[in-house]
Amino acid sequence: MTVMYLSVRYAGMPYVVMYMLGSLPSVSLTDVVSNNLFLALNWMNVVVTVMVGAIMITRLHAMYQRSRKMIVFLFVISLALTVACALITARGISRVSGEEFILSDTYQCTYDYEGDSQLLMPITWILRIVWEVLALCLAVWISVRHFRELRRLSGGSSMGDCFVFLMRTHVVYFATFAAGSCIALVFYFPTISDSDPMGYNGVLNIFSVLQMFVLGPRLILCVREYHAELVADAEAESNIGTGMTSNDSQEYTYMTSWQCGHSWI
């Protein structure tokens, strides 16, 4: 998970650089360079989306206490959606043509979607929405079940901070993705996006960068931060001679029980 975190986090730097090179009016690019940047950005979207999906699968697998049925189910669904998105992206890119125009004495390149490519590209976003909604529903379901069990076993104690923390970070991630998805779907409507294509594309890329390269890695980092705080609190109580409370002890035991190989948290 450390390798996954570093890969996703720092892939955002070349992504932003390539996007800025292709969109800044002050930078002139040849047709070959523009086309290569366009291909690189689209395929980086696919690769990083797959990696963030792997992070989400690991996270859900841990929340379901390493259920083998759950990991198989998530892997099959993710694989099917990934293959479909890759095929649709490849077909859509093959039907996109670049057009050169001069803006402020610099050569710029815009892209025209030919044939059914205008309809193919939104399908990838719809498939991503299906995956993210499924992940959110699974996270909510296991959290609700967990809280019910805690209420039944401990009479409504506060031992549930772990799942509250997980759901808070998941909701923030999903809200950003939902906002970007709405903008993306609007962007592919010609009657709307033609009025200000650069504006919609710029806002869409801001949300995409935030969701993939910032909030995606945070799904790993936030859990590690929570675990570090939990251990630090337990050690502090141990140092003053009081030891962990029963709730803290149960919480710590539960946290360590759903670590994937004791390495991802």
Tens digits of residue pLDDT in 191-214 = 555 555 555 667 777 888 888 888
pTM of the model: 0.75
- Is 243 contained in some domain? yes
Q: Where in the sequence is the domain holding 186, given as residue range(s)?
A: 2-257
**By mean pLDDT, which of 63-67, 215-219, 226-230 is the weakest?**
226-230
Tens digits of residue pLDDT in 108-166 = 555 555 556 667 778 888 899 999 999 999 999 998 888 888 777 765 444 456 788 88
Q: Is the pLDDT of residue 227 over 90?
A: no
- Is 263 contained in some domain? no
- Is 264 contained in some domain? no
- Is 99 contained in some domain? yes
- Is 185 contained in some domain? yes
- Is 265 contained in some domain? no
CA distance 190 to 186: 9
Core vs surface per residue 31-65: b (16+ CB within 10 A) or e: eeebbebbeebbebbbebbebbbbbbbbbbbbbbe
Tens digits of residue pLDDT in 36-81 = 787 888 888 888 989 999 999 998 998 888 899 999 999 999 999 9
- Is 147 contained in some domain? yes
- What's the domain count of the chain? 1
- Is 262 contained in some domain? no
